[in-house]
Amino acid sequence: MTDAKPKPFIAGNWKMNGLKASAGELVQVMAGYAPALRAKVDLAICPPATQLIPFALAALGSRVAIGAQDCHAKASGAHTGDLSAEMIADTGASHVIVGHSERRTDHAETDAIVRAKAEAAWRAGLVAILCIGETEAERRGGTTLSVVDTQLEGSVPDGASAANLVIAYEPVWAIGTGLVPSNEDIAEVHAHIRQRLVARFGAEGEGMRILYGGSVKPSNAGEILRIENVDGALVGGASLKAADFLGIAAAYA
């Protein structure tokens, strides 16, 4: 149980990008993650599955966490091409993204599937970075808050804590588009998510990190990360280059 303001967290989602040679970017992130910055913000990189083992090994002792981008709900079995949360934990990774909108869209992941994946993450001792967010049509239709409510209720399992769950609010229309909601809109949705988390999990909900995701870059990070109830960012494109990723984290320096 915690009622402290959460320590900010910036996670980089590399998506389907990165070959062996990209390890240099991780090395640069670790080099730039000086003790003064470490004291202010936690960092994670979520490379493609092929790079989990080398990245987890390289990051040992650096305090940069390594995460996967998805997991299967089951621990093992006949699921060709999938990775279980236990396998991810076995690489040395500590986090896993679940319910990213690209998985919800490309792989028809429902809230029930995302919930099962979050439970799998906890079973394996991983922190779940659970993504929610409205489409452009839902935003235009004025249903953003109810969409977020449905996703929170359907995707977040009982047993969530500040230590095992990070929520990433990512408006689908802002991902990879260069479009960002207004500060007021971000503040409204984050306050709403906080209120829902507290209503369901009590004081523990105050300590749960709520990240904003969608076209965050060094030039807009300062403004976005200052918004109340924004406890960090989930970053896609701008996490691929160490200088940009560190430039975003520098908003907390």
* Residue positions annotated with a catalytic role: 100, 170
Name which position in 214, 229, 246, 252 contacts ligand PEP (CB under 6 A). Answer: 214
CB contact at 8 A, 98 and 67: no
Tokens 């769950």 label which residue? 165
CB contact at 8 A, 32 and 62: no
Side-chain half-sphere exposure of 41, counting CA atoms within 13 A: 25
Name which position in 84, 91, 151, 215 contacts ligand PEP (CB under 6 A). Answer: 215
Alpha-carbon distance 201 to 159, whole Å? 8
Q: Write down the least CB distance from residue 163 to ligand PEP, Å.
A: 22
Q: Write down the least CB distance from residue 13 to ligand PEP, Å.
A: 5
Tokens 């494109």 label which residue? 237
CB contact at 8 A, 52 and 14: no
Contact positions with ligand PEP (CB under 6 A) in 9-48:
13
Alpha-carbon distance 195 to 206, whole Å? 9
Which residues have CB under 8 Å from 189's CB, separation 6+? 144, 145, 148, 169, 181
Question: Can residue 151 be called a binding residue for ligand PEP (CB under 6 A)?
Answer: no
Question: Can residue 141 be called a binding residue for ligand PEP (CB under 6 A)?
Answer: no
Contact positions with ligand PEP (CB under 6 A) in 90-129:
none
Q: Which is nearer to ligand PEP, 204 or 214 (CB)?
A: 214
Instruction: Annotate each residue in 166-185 with x if it binds ligand PEP (CB under 6 A) or - if it does not, as one string.
Output: ----x----xx---------
Question: Can residue 213 be called a binding residue for ligand PEP (CB under 6 A)?
Answer: yes
* Cα–Cα separations (whole angstroms), residue 6 to 50, 109, 147, 163, 207: 31, 29, 25, 10, 5
User: Which span sits near ligand PEP by CB under 6 A: 48-56, 77-85, 193-201, 210-218?
Assistant: 210-218
Q: Write down the least CB distance from residue 208 to ligand PEP, Å.
A: 18
Q: Write down the least CB distance from residue 179 to ligand PEP, Å.
A: 9
Binding site for ligand PEP (CB under 6 A): 13, 170, 175-176, 213-216, 234-238
